Chain A
Amino acid sequence: MGKTLFDKIWDSHVVKTIDDGPNVLYIDRHFIHEVTSPQAFGGIKARGGKVARPDQVIATPDHNIPTINQHLTIQDELSRVQVETLKQNCEENGITMYGLNHPYNGIVHVVGPELGITQPGMTIVCGDSHTSTHGAFGSIAFGIGTSEVEMALATQCIMQPKPKSMRINIEGELHKGVTSKDIILYIISKLTTGGGTGYFVEFAGSAIRSLSMEARMTICNMSIEMGARGGMIAPDETTFEYIKGREQAPKGAKWDEAVAYWKSLCTDADAVFHKELNYEAADIEPMITYGTNPGMGAKVCGNIPTLDSIEDSSKNSFQKSMEYMGFAAGDKLEGKKVDYVFVGSCTNGRIEDLRSFCEAVKGRKKADSVTAWIVPGSKQVEKQAIEEGLKEQLEAAGFELRQPGCSACLAMNDDKIPEGMYAVSTSNRNFEGRQGPGSRTLLASPLTAAAAAVTGVVTDPRTIFN
């Protein structure tokens, strides 16, 4: 029987199999950031050990950093200590760190791909659930806890039970105005936030193949939001084209060797998945979430489900969620008031996302009632946005381009949505309080965010942009 793409990579990274236990899995690249690594370094120190393969570890502070005045010291003391601790740990262990103000600083899942560190066939981990982003390159990439960060630092291996495999096929052509964010919000709304738990997902089909790398990253990024261990897409010419020439991409003869190997990384025709799902691209419309988990999504032009369409066992949680959001079952989504718009995060903070937002708002004005934070995913994205004139376009429309970081995605810095306010956000989580205590998040694509930003209400982007 043939092998899946996932099997090929996983099996070639197993150092040891434990009977009725996890595999010892070798890790090619280990990304770290300031929030989930200090206790891991602390553990290593306490054992008197050291980092095993510092060359395979890459660090960037991102979660805590301010998105204005980055040249100044970080004001919040705890945040500053965490960022400084990362720096110190990296220095002590010979780990490369792209610190604040470094031209390569940024959100860890934006930095890895744009530097060519993320490559097909690799195993990649980070103490961050959205590590699944890197799977867009045909690698096995997933988030781990701090104990596992410590394992990976100490031994370059972690212990993992092999997940089951799932393939999600999306065939056909996407409608105009429908983006990869809509694809993934659509899938999660069908599968629920637990629907992928226990599985590693391969996304396939003509609609997926047609997507750019940025768009593929958005999809793999949010595979964790349906509970999946990770998501991946087989590498193809689009992938190779993206990697070629990047800072850490293989060069010269090595490049040809690498591409030849990468081309072998696909699911065999006769491979069997534990589960396979099929969707039609034509059924997908612009999506937005109305509740407090990413599975609570609906068409922007649609309504919140009615209470009788919710399973009995979930009614409690659904109503709790509606109460938090200040919405009622059955409500129409279009026209709901929007106070904040956040464009950024490892889901939609790449150059393509900024381009699409700018293109949409060009010639229009930000609605006066809306506060908007446009936050590039990295210093390189910021630089490119300035060079391409996006910054000026944004300013002309009444928006400000901030400096890179996780920002309002999880509100560990000052970018917090105030209590009770509604934010249309291009990030990945709408959990209670995720964007600040009492904040109310509606997840959507950069296009839908643009529509909300210029109208001040939830708006189907197709009704105002052409």
Chain B
Amino acid sequence: MPIEKFVTVQTSFVPMPIENVDTDQIIPARFLKATTKEGFGDNLFFDWRYDKAGQPKADFVLNKPSYDGTVLVAGKNFGSGSSREHAAWAIAGYGFKAVVSSFFADIFRGNSLNNGVLPVQVSEEFLAGLFASVDADNKTEVKIDLANQTITNVATSASEGFEINSYKKSCLMNGYDDIDYLLSLEKEIAAYEKQAVKF
């Protein structure tokens, strides 16, 4: 299915200055019993977001009305742990278009790209700058320009480039997904199989 096209975003953002946020926190295992992709946004960060009675915890950032925006900015090594794509569905389902961190776990990076959520890896300094800016003003903005592969801290005008391979970039910008491409390779795949080692 086509993914949503990624266009330049300029938005306030949600800060989560915690390192090693793992996929079990992003979406706890007990929510993985669904057989469709819908509804995961409601359970994003569930155990951090809600108390035992299911009431929002006032001190969790997603529950603070002063923070909003379609970009999540998180500490180093975001998305480690399980391969559950439900984590990416939860982030996309909640409405985030991009996640910014100084380091991403591999599988999470791939999963988010496959769901139209852009992982933007920035330097430690840039990340610290974003946290400082949002501390000073909750509504401060970040701008992510995929075409030019740049991210800007609007408050300080600090800007840096980020990496993405040109194939994935064009997928995101055009809303293509990999399966269509792979399906078009039927002949190449059959030819590969003819010469492959098999026992």
Contacts and interface: CB of A to CB of B under 8 A. Distances in A.
Contact of B24 (A47, A85, A154, A429): A429
A147 B178 contact: yes
Contact of A229 (B80, B106, B114): B106
Given A147-B85, A197-B106, A15 B192 contact: yes
B165 A82 contact: no
A193 B82 CA distance: 12
B28 A24 contact: no
Given A43-B1, A148-B114, A194-B20, A26 B189 contact: yes
B179 A412 contact: no
A39 B81 contact: no
A160 B182 CA distance: 12
Interface stretch (A97-105, A278-286, A432-440): A432-440
B76 interface: yes
B103 interface: yes
Interface stretch (A309-317, A340-348, A444-452): A309-317
Contacts of B85: 36, 39, 127, 145-147
Interface string B1-33: 100000000000000011110101100111011
B47 A432 contact: yes
Interface string B165-199: 11110000000011101110110110011001101
Interface stretch (A179-187, A253-261, A299-307, A372-380): A253-261
Nearest to B184: A155
B64 interface: no
B81 A412 contact: no
Contacts of B153: none
B75 interface: yes
A12 B195 CA distance: 10
A145 B20 contact: no
Interface size for chain B: under 10, 10 to 19, 20 to 34, or 35 or more residues?
35 or more
Nearest to B22: A431
A409 to B, nearest CB: 9
Nearest to A144: B83
Contacts of B105: 194, 197, 227
B97 to A, nearest CB: 18
B17 A194 contact: no
Given A258-B199, A317-B20, A129 B37 contact: no
Interface in A148-166: 148, 150-151, 154-161, 163
A26 B81 contact: no
B183 A431 contact: no
Given A147-B178, A156-B189, A432-B47, A85 B114 contact: no
Contact of A432 (B24, B86, B177, B178): B24
B160 to A, nearest CB: 18
Contact of A18 (B1, B34, B86, B167): B167
A137 B60 CA distance: 44
Contacts of A85: 35
Interface in B69-87: 75-77, 80-86
A398 interface: no
Nearest to A129: B83
The interface centre, meaning the residue of B34, B82, B83, B189 with most chain A CB atoms within 10 A of its CB, is B83
Nearest to B17: A316
B80 A227 contact: yes
Interface in A12-64: 12-13, 15-16, 18-22, 24, 26, 35-36, 38-39, 42-43, 46-47, 49, 52, 63-64
B125 to A, nearest CB: 11
Query: Closest 8 A-B residue pairs measured CB to CB?
Result: A21-B167, A78-B33, A145-B85, A143-B83, A38-B35, A145-B111, A147-B114, A194-B77
Interface of A: 12-13, 15-16, 18-22, 24, 26, 35-36, 38-39, 42-43, 46-47, 49, 52, 63-64, 76, 78-79, 81-82, 85, 119, 121, 127-129, 131, 143-148, 150-151, 154-161, 163, 193-194, 197-198, 227, 229, 250, 254, 257-258, 261, 293, 295, 313-314, 316-317, 320, 410-412, 429, 431-434, 437
Interface of B: 1, 17-20, 22, 24-25, 28-30, 32-37, 47, 52, 75-77, 80-86, 88, 103-107, 110-111, 114-115, 124, 165-168, 177-179, 181-183, 185-186, 188-189, 192-193, 196-197, 199
12 contacts: A16-B185, A16-B188, A20-B167, A35-B33, A81-B33, A146-B85, A159-B181, A193-B20, A227-B105, A316-B17, A317-B18, A431-B81
